[in-house]
């Protein structure tokens, strides 16, 4: 280190004792086992979130959040602003990769049962962040104010409206009125750039703090084996460098997607045009959308979609609360049923997503 | 006579508790009320003149404005003119006329209505709301069914 650097370090160290932090980092070890690769997906998700923040701020410089200007401002951004198309394309692609990485991260944690005590809070904060991620996706989808997004938002908010009791007020709150209009756009814009990022940042802080505090989870059963038998690698620099390598790979994939498959803008939304054929929500909502399509209008005495939505809500709640009802993993035993539930969920999501894609 | 320190403290607790509650209510209520968008004073539309009947081809359907609401105007092969709210009774998409299928179709979840607005296939739970159509001096007039 140069003398100036050393001086600066000492100056800061005198005040906040950096030594403790460095010692903590030096003592941090990451377990090495056949499932170690899954550890990286949390970091990848974080990386994609950071990209979202940066590209999002860049987009804000040109975006105008109103009914008459939103579509035109993005048209302008994509055709006139240098690299405007690239920034938008990266933002859209990275949003999708973010959800994908979060899904992979979640399922790997689920199958390893890493949510078991003492990491219930880490799981919960992660699940809440995933739900916020859906909120980001849903609200961001509307912002270009194009046809597809307009009708997807109508359908999505109407679905919220069929929930008994709270549904109707919630729909009006989301839409900013009875219908999807410019008022909806203003609200979604606010959610997307202020409310959700704020909440997300707090949860992310808690999540990362917990991971630091408790260390990485080890596979079930491995905790009991003697410490000498365990393989580990130092977090700094070994794990961190591998993390960075992953980030670099993701960045390349992102660049290829954004450049060779630029995100389309489509047609401007028109409240007096029929819904276009081929309307579908973002892919991560597709399995639910497709399920609703297959449900008959009436099942016994309830509306088909009311039942569908309530079932999805119930499944989501059970999934989120898994650390509290999976007694077996909590005791350190293998729990087959949970594994089957997870496989079932993946198969269901895959099959219905593909069906939704094809039909 | 029962003015022991115990009851005095209880009394203070209640006062404090009620104060906190009142304070919370006075903060939360305005915020909740603020979140609820006000009703927009819409101009009540009762009748809309669409145009001359002769301009509407047989076996066609188009969306017309009725105030802020889209309405689908259908002319059957026999020449009948009918109108329905173009808002799908399933999840709010805007429907369209499909000449090839001879039905009113909703692209969102493949819902179908016959030309009388009855839901005949797919997820829609109810028929489309009908509008009254009157032909006056060769012009098509739409009005709400009361
Ligand atoms: S919104 Fe029309 S079929 Fe679902």
| pLDDT tens digits along A190-231 | 999 999 999 999 999 999 999 988 988 888 877 677 776 778
Q: What is the CATH number of the domain that holds A91?
A: 1.20.810.10
B146: pLDDT strictly greater than 70: no
Same domain, A203 and A127: yes
Residue A28 pLDDT class (50, 70, 90 cuts):
confident
Same domain, A40 and A166: yes
> What local confidence, expressed as pLDDT, does residue A292 receive?
81
pLDDT single digits (tens) B13-34: 999 999 999 999 999 999 999 9
Same domain, A251 and A296: no
- Mean pLDDT, chain A, integer: 91
**H or E segment and range at residue B112:** strand B111-113
> What local confidence, expressed as pLDDT, does residue B79 receive?
87
B1: pLDDT strictly greater than 60: no
Q: Could you list the residue range(s) of the whole structural domain that residue A151 is in?
A: 28-266
pLDDT single digits (tens) B43-59: 678 888 888 988 888 89
> What local confidence, expressed as pLDDT, does residue A193 receive?
97
A295 CA → ligand 1 middle, Å: 12
Same domain, A41 and A149: yes
8 Å CB contact between A275 and B94: yes
Q: Is residue A11 part of a domain?
A: no
Q: Is residue A117 part of a domain?
A: yes
Residue B3 pLDDT class (50, 70, 90 cuts):
low
Same domain, A60 and A201: yes
Same domain, A115 and A33: yes
Name which of A137, A133, A128, A143 is nearest A188 in CA terms. A143
B87 CA → ligand 1 middle, Å: 9
The tokens describing B123, both together, are 């997820």
> What local confidence, expressed as pLDDT, does residue B50 receive?
87
Same domain, A64 and A111: yes
Q: Is residue A1 part of a domain?
A: no
Q: Could you tell me which residues of chain A have a Cβ less than 8 Å from any Cβ in chain B?
A: 151, 154-155, 158-159, 169, 172-173, 176-177, 179, 183, 271-279, 292-293, 295-298, 303-305
Give ipTM to 2 decimals: 0.82
Which of A238, A266, A294 delimits the end of a domain? Answer: A266
Q: Is residue A17 part of a domain?
A: no
Same domain, A206 and A293: no
| Overall domain count for chain A | 2
Q: Is residue A104 part of a domain?
A: yes
**H or E segment and range at residue A258:** helix A240-260
Same domain, A63 and A35: yes
Q: What is the CA radius of gyration of chain A?
A: 23
Q: Is residue A82 part of a domain?
A: yes
Same domain, A200 and A233: yes
The tokens describing A175, both together, are 């839409």
Pocket residues: Cβ below 6 A from ligand 1 = A 155; B 88, 90-93, 106, 108-109, 111, 122-124
Same domain, A354 and A221: no
Q: Is residue A6 part of a domain?
A: no
8 Å CB contact between A193 and A60: yes
- Cross-strand pairs, B71: B64, B85
8 Å CB contact between A220 and A332: yes
HEC string of A165-220? CCHHHHHHHHHCCCCCCHHHHHHHHHHHHHHHHHHHHHHHHHHHHHHHHHCCCCCC
8 Å CB contact between B93 and A148: no
Domains of chain B: 47-144 (2.102.10.10)
pLDDT single digits (tens) A133-190: 999 999 999 999 999 999 999 999 998 888 888 999 999 999 999 999 999 999 999 9
Same domain, A258 and A305: no
Q: Is residue A275 part of a domain?
A: no
pLDDT single digits (tens) A95-106: 999 999 999 999
Alpha helices in B48-92 (DSSP H): none
A345 CA → ligand 1 middle, Å: 26
* Residue among A173, A277, A304 minimizing CB distance to B36: A173
Ligand 1 atom index nearest CA of B111: 3
Q: What percent of chain A has pLDDT over 90?
A: 67
């Amino acid at each position: 280190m140069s003398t100036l650097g050393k001086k600066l370090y000492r100056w800061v160290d005198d005040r906040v004792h950096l030594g403790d932090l460095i010692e903590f980092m030096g003592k941090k070890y990451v377990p090495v086992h056949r499932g170690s690769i899954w550890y990286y997906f949390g970091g990848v998700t974080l990386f994609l979130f950071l990209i979202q923040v940066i590209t999002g701020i860049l987009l804000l410089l040109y975006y105008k959040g109103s009914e008459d200007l939103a579509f035109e401002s993005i048209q302008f951004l994509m055709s006139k602003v240098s690299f405007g198309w690239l920034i938008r394309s990266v933002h859209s692609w990275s949003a999708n990769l973010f959800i994908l990485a979060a899904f992979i991260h979640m399922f790997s944690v689920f199958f390893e049962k890493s949510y078991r005590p003492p990491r219930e809070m880490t799981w919960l904060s992660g699940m809440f962040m995933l739900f916020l991620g859906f909120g980001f996706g849903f609200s961001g989808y509307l912002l270009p104010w194009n046809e597809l997004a307009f009708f997807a938002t109508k359908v999505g908010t109407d679905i919220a409206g069929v929930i008994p009791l709270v549904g109707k007020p919630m729909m009006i709150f989301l839409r900013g009125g009875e219908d999807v209009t410019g008022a909806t756009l203003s609200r979604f814009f606010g959610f997307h750039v202020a409310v959700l990022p704020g909440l997300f940042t707090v949860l992310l802080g808690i999540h990362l703090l917990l991971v630091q505090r408790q260390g990485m989870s080890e596979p079930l059963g491995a905790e009991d084996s003697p410490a000498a038998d365990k393989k580990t690698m130092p977090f700094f620099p070994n794990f961190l460098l591998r993390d960075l390598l992953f980030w670099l790979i993701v960045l390349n994939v992102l660049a290829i997607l954004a450049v060779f498959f630029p995100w389309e803008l489509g047609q401007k939304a028109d409240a007096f045009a029929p819904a276009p054929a081929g309307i579908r929500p973002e892919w991560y909502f597709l399995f639910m959308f497709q399920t609703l399509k297959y449900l008959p209008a009436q099942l016994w005495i309830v509306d088909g979609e009311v039942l569908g939505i309530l079932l999805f809500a119930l499944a989501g709640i059970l999934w989120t609360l898994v650390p509290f009802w999976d007694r077996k993993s909590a005791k350190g035993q293998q729990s087959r049923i949970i594994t089957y539930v997870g496989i079932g969920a993946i198969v269901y999501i895959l099959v219905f997503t593909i069906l939704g894609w094809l039909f | 006579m029962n003015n022991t320190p115990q009851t005095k403290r209880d009394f203070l607790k209640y006062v404090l508790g009620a104060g906190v509650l009142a304070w919370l209510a006075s903060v939360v209520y305005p915020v909740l009320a603020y979140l609820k968008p006000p009703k927009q004073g819409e101009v009540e539309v009762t009748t809309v003149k669409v145009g001359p009947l002769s301009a509407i081809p047989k076996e066609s359907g188009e969306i017309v404005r009725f105030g802020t609401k889209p309405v689908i105007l259908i002319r059957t092969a026999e020449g009948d003119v009918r109108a329905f709210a173009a808002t799908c009774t399933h999840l709010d998409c805007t429907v369209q006329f499909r000449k090839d299928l001879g039905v009113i179709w909703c692209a969102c979840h493949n819902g179908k209505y016959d030309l009388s607005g009855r839901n005949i296939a797919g997820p829609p739970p109810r028929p489309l709301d009908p509008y009254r159509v009157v032909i006056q001096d060769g012009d098509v007039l739409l009005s709400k069914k009361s």
